[in-house]
Structure 1
Amino acid sequence: MSLTVPFKQVDVFTEKPFKGNPVAVVNFLEVDESGVTQEELQAIANWTNLSETTFLFKPSDDKCDYKLRIFSPRSELPFAGHPTIGSCKAFLEFTQNTTATSIIQECGVGAIPLTISDGLISFKAALADYEAISNEVIANYEEAIGLKFVTAPALLHTGPEWIVALVEDAETCFNANPNFGMLGRQTKQNDHLGIILAGPKKTSSIKNSYEMRAFAPAVNVNEDPVCGSGSLALARYLQELYKFEETTDITISQGGRLDRDGHIIASIKKEANGSTSYHVAGHAITVIDGKIKL
């Protein structure tokens, strides 16, 4: 491969540069996808060394605005939350689209609808399934995290496979110090990506407000600064736990232990047909805008 293409690095779930979760976005909209190999994309993602690097291609489905391929430094992912929002922000800037209020992204889990309103970019989840786990697995995770969970954790299928666990309050969550070696072994053994740990902000004036952390040492990410798919997993878990009967917003803060200041709104929406859908929203800001030579 020998070409020069537009490149951006976008900070997601923040309005302050360097306080969110960055994603690298490479613009291959004018490049034939068949001319780029899996190995070449993986090499770029390994080089950027961010939790995710994404590649924008022309969609194969005419209903979609673009096709997004998402890579960690080690492998391709079917979906990830903050790269979805950050890549939408980059796409709008690459195409100089200042008026769009809706976008459809094609990716490994299907078509993802996004909305843009007042600076917030929101995506609707294609997958948010709940699965109970055994008491033995729960006990192993409690040992690895070093805390007792206040409700039974569960496995949430959101693209990534997250275990979601609640602790007593936001302070307990913030102060948790997992044994990352043990946690990495447990998640790898059980074929889980990692653990979403959350605690309610009991003194907050905002209803349904949580501190959240995301641990994925099995894929070399001890702690993800601000996690979109994890916030989706938390919202779906809370719906299973509390059976919200009306549309409900879950306000999430994340990243303080890593000197970040991430803010996410995860919404549980009741549709007109009686079904429940899950949405994640946040701001995004471009911090690097240039070109990459390949």
Structure 2
Amino acid sequence: MALKLPFLQVDVFTSSPFKGNPVAVVNCMGIDESLVSDQQLQAIANWTNLSETTFLFKATTDRCDYKLRIFTPTMELPFAGHPTIGSCKAFLQFTGQKNAKSLMQECQLGIVSLTISDEGKISFKAERADVEEIPQDAIDEYRKSLQIDCLAAPKLLQVGPAWVVYLAADAESCYNANPDFAQMAATNTRYGHSGIILAGKKPGSSQDYEMRAFAPTDCVLEDPVCGSGSIALIRYLQDLHRFSETTNVSITQGGRLKRQGQIFCQIKANGDGKFSYISEGNAIIVIEGSINI
């Protein structure tokens, strides 16, 4: 049976068209999920050839507004940041919920809480943000592939993707790095890591960072603007600095790819000695249409 499904392409973490990170969003909420196969979804994601393509389905629990499935050109992901924000923007457009202030997203990782500000920015709270040590051999290999020294010991951040956060001496070192992607991919594969989040603090700033995201094993040498990477970075910063109060972190990304991504993050003190990790950004719709499957 042929299906014609509404389709949007959303530019995320930007307020200027074509300066953020695009995600393709297919609206499958009007059909039963059993009518499309995993192979069909993967084929569409392979065809769009974006870092991620998402599919909105009816939620399987009353707690959630929709279910989201996220695909790269080669595999399905349990969670990703910019697709979450872009898909929320698409859901609001598809359903006409212009005044919604909060939504709950169901995905493989769990239930993700989303908030829409009065200005239209969309934020998500991390469902998972766990810190793990990595072997010294892996650290040495990543130093060779990045060809720059780290300011503090890199660590593995489990935020859905398994990002290794590598802190450069400063923003300039981060921006100018020219990685050896073949070597990085080999290390990623050897240790089961999704990729590297490279970041450096901007001079004279409080908590303003330049960030880059590399995932060569997923055929994404450099992601223009990375939401899950921003969560990995701020969780790493909390582990490193042990902030005692709510701390705002501003991240720019994508300059090397001629983009102008902006992510607004918060390490939020919950008052019980625990913290929540939140990323926020703008999203704008740049393509509207339908897709036939």
2:261 is the counterpart of 1:262: yes
Query: Helix, strand or coil: the match of 1:90?
Result: helix
**1:61 matched to which residue of 2?**
61
Structure 2 counterpart of 1:230, which letter? G
Shift of 1:211: 0.2
Structure 1 counterpart of 2:75, which letter? S
Measure the CA separation in 2 of the matches of 1:289 and 1:248.
Answer: 37
**1:224 matched to which residue of 2?**
223
1:177-227 CA deviation, whole Å, 9 max, x = no partner? 0001111111111110100000000134xx200000001111111000000
Structure 2 counterpart of 1:256, which letter? G
Measure the CA separation in 1 of the matches of 2:217 and 2:163.
Answer: 12
1:231-286 CA deviation, whole Å, 9 max, x = no partner? 00000000000001001111000000000000001211011333211111000000
- After TM superposition, the structure 1 = structure 2 runs for residues 188-267 of structure 1, keeping only pairs within 5 Å, are 188-204=189-205, 207-267=206-266
TM-score normalised by L of structure 2 = 0.98
Query: Helix, strand or coil: the match of 1:287?
Result: strand
**2:152 matched to which residue of 1?**
151
What is the RMSD computed on CA atoms of the aligned residues? 0.8
TM-score normalised by L of structure 1 = 0.98
Structure 2 counterpart of 1:181, which letter? A
Measure the CA separation in 1 of the matches of 2:174 and 2:154.
Answer: 14
Measure the CA separation in 1 of the matches of 2:183 and 2:138.
Answer: 13
Measure the CA separation in 2 of the matches of 1:91 and 1:20.
Answer: 19
Unmatched 5+ residue regions in structure 1? none
Measure the CA separation in 1 of the matches of 2:291 and 2:82.
Answer: 22
Structure 2 counterpart of 1:288, which letter? I
Structure 1 counterpart of 2:253, which letter? Q
Structure 2 counterpart of 1:219, which letter? D
Unmatched 5+ residue regions in structure 2? none
Structure 1 counterpart of 2:55, which letter? F
Query: Helix, strand or coil: the match of 2:124?
Result: strand
Q: Give me the identity figure in percent.
A: 59
Measure the CA separation in 2 of the matches of 1:96 and 1:163.
Answer: 39
1:106-147 CA deviation, whole Å, 9 max, x = no partner? 001111000000111000100000001121110110001111
Aligned length: 292
Deviates more, 1:1-10 or 1:44-53: 1-10
Query: Helix, strand or coil: the match of 1:250?
Result: strand
**2:276 matched to which residue of 1?**
277
- After TM superposition, the structure 1 = structure 2 runs for residues 41-60 of structure 1, keeping only pairs within 5 Å, are 41-60=41-60
**2:76 matched to which residue of 1?**
76
